[in-house]
Amino acid sequence: MSERRFLRAAIALSALALLGLAGCRDSGAEGEHFELSGRLFVFNYRVATVRYMVTLRPLKPVGESEVAVVNFENPAGGEAIAVRQKIWPQSDKVTIESPPLECVAKDRPYKVSIVIEGAKGEAMQVIETTMVSSQDQSVLPDKPLVAGPFYDLNPKLKGHPDGHLPGGRGVNCPPPA
């Protein structure tokens, strides 16, 4: 075999080996069905709300009737905020939002627990994480800035162009930990 032929054969075999390795990409640890691909606090200044938002990416095909059960730590104290959401098999991501929150504090870690349940309600995977806000809820106005379908200025904020009322949001938040 000539040197040139040998070199071509070696290059071809190397290319096949690389293609084979590319097909063996990591698809998550044994038993993992989803990975946490995003987590953030969503501040909506216009409507004066803040919410948790987590995003999951499927690592394996999603079965029928799978559900994500998420328990978000309640920044105002008390019981965790539970959200139960169906996971659609054809989705390339799952986005889960909490209802509006109160008392979100900057730089404080909040616990989040996600349980993926199968069709029979069995726990298929548990994901534990924390979320930290880069902003304090005090940056939001106390009431929505607009009201009604035509985005009229909220009459409750008349005389308070900064959106902050003398009594605040009317929520007693726990002291910072």
Report pLDDT digits (tens) over 112-122.
Answer: 999 999 999 99
Work out how many domains the chain is built from and give that number.
1
CATH code, 102: 2.60.40.10
Report pLDDT digits (tens) over 121-131.
Answer: 999 999 999 99
Residue 25 lies in a domain: no
pLDDT band of residue 5 (cuts 50, 70, 90) is low
pLDDT band of residue 13 (cuts 50, 70, 90) is very low
Residue 141 lies in a domain: yes
Residue 11 lies in a domain: no
Note whether 138 and 112 are within 8 A (CB). no
Task: Give the chain's length.
Answer: 177
Residue 67 lies in a domain: yes
Residue 17: pLDDT above 50?
no
Residue 10 lies in a domain: no
Residue 87 lies in a domain: yes
Structural domain harbouring 126? 34-156
Q: Mean pLDDT across the chain, nearest whole number? A: 86
Q: What is the pLDDT of residue 96?
A: 98
Report pLDDT digits (tens) over 72-95.
Answer: 999 999 999 999 999 999 999 999
Residue 164 lies in a domain: no
Which of 115, 93, 86 has its CA nearest to residue 37?
93
Report pLDDT digits (tens) over 135-165.
Answer: 999 999 999 999 989 989 999 999 998 899 9
Query: Which DSSP helix (H) or strand (E) runs through 102?
Result: none
Number of helical (H) and strand (E) elements in the chain, helices listed first:
1, 9
Instruction: Give 149-155's long-range contacts (Cβ < 8 A, gap of 24+).
Output: none
Residue 167 lies in a domain: no
CA distance 53 to 37: 11
